[in-house]
Amino acid sequence: MSTVAGHAPSFPSRREVIEHVRALGREVVAVMPIHYPRAMLRAHRLHPIEIWGPPRVPRVEGSRHFQAYTCDIVVKATSFVRSGGIAGTKAILVPHTCDALQGMASVLGDFLHPEQRVLTLYLPRGRRTSDRDFLREELQRLGAKLSEVSGHQPSRADWMEAFEAEDAADAALADLYRRRERLAVSDRHFYQVIRAREYLTAEQFCEAATAVPEGNRPRTGVGLMISGIVAEPLELFDQIEALGAHIVGDDLACGFRRVYSTSMRNDPFERSASRLLKGPPDPTCGTPVRDRIEALQTRMRALGARGLLVYDPKFCEPELFDVPLLRKHLHEAGFPVLHVEFEMGETLPHQTLSRIEAFVETLS
């Protein structure tokens, strides 16, 4: 694995990762966004590979099963599953991130019956003690299903090894964000590494994160914070740089919202639940919007962001509920907000770029 400043990072492909984990005696589980217990999968000798609506997959097959106003992540992932994209995996795990993903789990499990087992994970919409208790029980239920899928009942040693490895990868992710200003790589390169966590093993991710070089890379233009679910395609970052701006930080579901704090509880389910509930504010976890606004303001001030770009796939309900209040309150705090909705595809539409360009001009 090599990572060179100014060049694209080099990672094993998904196929190579699958071969690698199988050689280690693990099976692959396809996982939908956003939050799920990675260590629990590992302890059960399973490896997660995430699906964020593959951009090259046509909507047609998925469109047959959902309303026209369902987001691309769900529609394209369903197309992907139906077209054999997850062949060879043991199961598909669909966390209850939003109503659209819950709907996807129902459509897959009740009507489409893929060859893989469809597993659900109901996530609480709060961070109270009762939420943690609920999540612990939900994880126990999921754990039993994972044992059925893998045929393996984790020992104490399996759990400890899994937590150690996944905590190290979580720490490597957090460290990348901490070191962001000192890293000698482009925004695109940075997010390629961040998003490699979606399919690399914990060890491979730690290696990739450590390989990101530090050094002088002068960053010019307007500093932006980017929020939303997923920044696709990665070309977006090149275009933002070409427009005279750069990303100083993010509040992306595929990025910073998964910088979890480590929990040291003894019970593995309790520990997994605590980890999932210790992430940054996230509307899909029921975080009150005021907490998200406050966290964004604090981070934007600290990182020197001039404005917030909210970049969402079309029809993302959890985000749409927050956007009007984000706009209002951040604007009042001196941080203009641009909300852009996009359709997942391989190219960036001219209109999207025009809006971002106009936004950068207003901040320049």
Partner 1 sequence: MSHVAAIGIDAGSTTCKLVAVDRDGAIIAWLLEPTEPRVEIQVRRMLDALRAEIRIETAVPAIATGYGRKLIKQATRNLTEITCHARGVFRDLGRAGTLIDIGGQDSKVIQIGEDGRPVDFMMNDKCAAGTGRFLEYTAARLGVPIEALGKRALSVSSEEPISSTCTVFAESEIISLIARGAEPDAILRGLHRSLVGRVVSMARSVGIVPPVMLSGGVARNEAVRTMIAEATGEDVIVPRQPQLMGAYGAALLGSAA
Does residue 323 sit in helix, strand or coil?
Answer: helix
**Rule CB under 8 A: which of 279-338 touch partner 1?**
324, 331, 336
Q: Which of 10, 261, 298, 354 binds partner 1 (CB under 8 A)?
A: 354
The answer to whether 37 touches 55, Cβ cutoff 8 Å, is no
User: What is the smallest separation between the CB atom of 360 and partner 1, expressed in angstroms?
Assistant: 9
Tell me, what amino acid is at 211? A
The answer to whether 305 touches 119, Cβ cutoff 8 Å, is no
Residues in contact with partner 1, total (CB under 8 A)? 12
Residue closer to partner 1 by CB (options 212, 323) is 323
Listed residue (49, 50, 72) closest to 59, CA to CA? 72
Measure the CA–CA gap between 222 and 56, rounded to whole angstroms.
31
Instruction: Find the part of the chain contacting partner 1 (CB under 8 A) among 33-41, 94-102, 192-200, 356-364.
Output: 356-364
User: What is the smallest separation between the CB atom of 358 and partner 1, expressed in angstroms?
Assistant: 4
Measure the CA–CA gap between 270 and 272, rounded to whole angstroms.
6
Residue closer to partner 1 by CB (options 302, 358) is 358
Instruction: Find the part of the chain contacting partner 1 (CB under 8 A) among 66-74, 125-133, 294-302, 350-358.
Output: 350-358
Q: Is 244 in the site for partner 1 (CB under 8 A)?
A: no
Residue closer to partner 1 by CB (options 217, 327) is 327
Instruction: Find the part of the chain contacting partner 1 (CB under 8 A) among 82-90, 224-232, 248-256, 353-361.
Output: 353-361
Measure the CA–CA gap between 292 and 163, rounded to whole angstroms.
28
Residue closer to partner 1 by CB (options 163, 311) is 311
**Could you tell me whether strands 46-50 and 245-252 are parallel, antiparallel, or unpaired per DSSP bridges?**
unpaired
The secondary structure of residue 121, as a DSSP letter, is: E
Q: Is 357 in the site for partner 1 (CB under 8 A)?
A: yes
Look up residue 295 and give its two tokens.
Answer: 């966290």
> Rg (Cα) of the chain, in Å, rounded?
20
Residue closer to partner 1 by CB (options 155, 351) is 351
Measure the CA–CA gap between 324 and 335, rounded to whole angstroms.
14
Q: Is 362 in the site for partner 1 (CB under 8 A)?
A: yes
Instruction: Find the part of the chain contacting partner 1 (CB under 8 A) among 26-34, 85-93, 204-212, 349-357.
Output: 349-357
**Length, in residues, of the chain:** 364
User: What is the smallest separation between the CB atom of 265 and partner 1, expressed in angstroms?
Assistant: 45
User: What is the smallest separation between the CB atom of 354 and partner 1, expressed in angstroms?
Assistant: 6
Q: Name the β-bridge partners of 120.
A: 94
User: What is the smallest separation between the CB atom of 116 and partner 1, expressed in angstroms?
Assistant: 36
User: What is the smallest separation between the CB atom of 247 and partner 1, expressed in angstroms?
Assistant: 20
Q: Which CA distances in Å does 233 have to 294, 311, 343, 345?
A: 29, 11, 10, 7
Listed residue (4, 1, 2) closest to 184, CA to CA? 4
Q: Is 355 in the site for partner 1 (CB under 8 A)?
A: yes
The answer to whether 45 touches 150, Cβ cutoff 8 Å, is yes
Residue closer to partner 1 by CB (options 113, 350) is 350
Listed residue (342, 355, 310) closest to 328, CA to CA? 310
The shares of helix, strand and coil residues in the chain, as percent rounded to the nearest 5, are 50, 15, 35
Q: Is 350 in the site for partner 1 (CB under 8 A)?
A: yes
Instruction: Find the part of the chain contacting partner 1 (CB under 8 A) among 15-23, 95-103, 156-164, 346-354.
Output: 346-354
Residue closer to partner 1 by CB (options 87, 358) is 358
User: What number of other Cβ atoms are within 10 A of residue 285's Cβ?
Assistant: 21
Please report, as ranges, the residues that interact with partner 1 according to CB under 8 A: 324, 331, 336, 350-351, 354-355, 357-359, 361-362
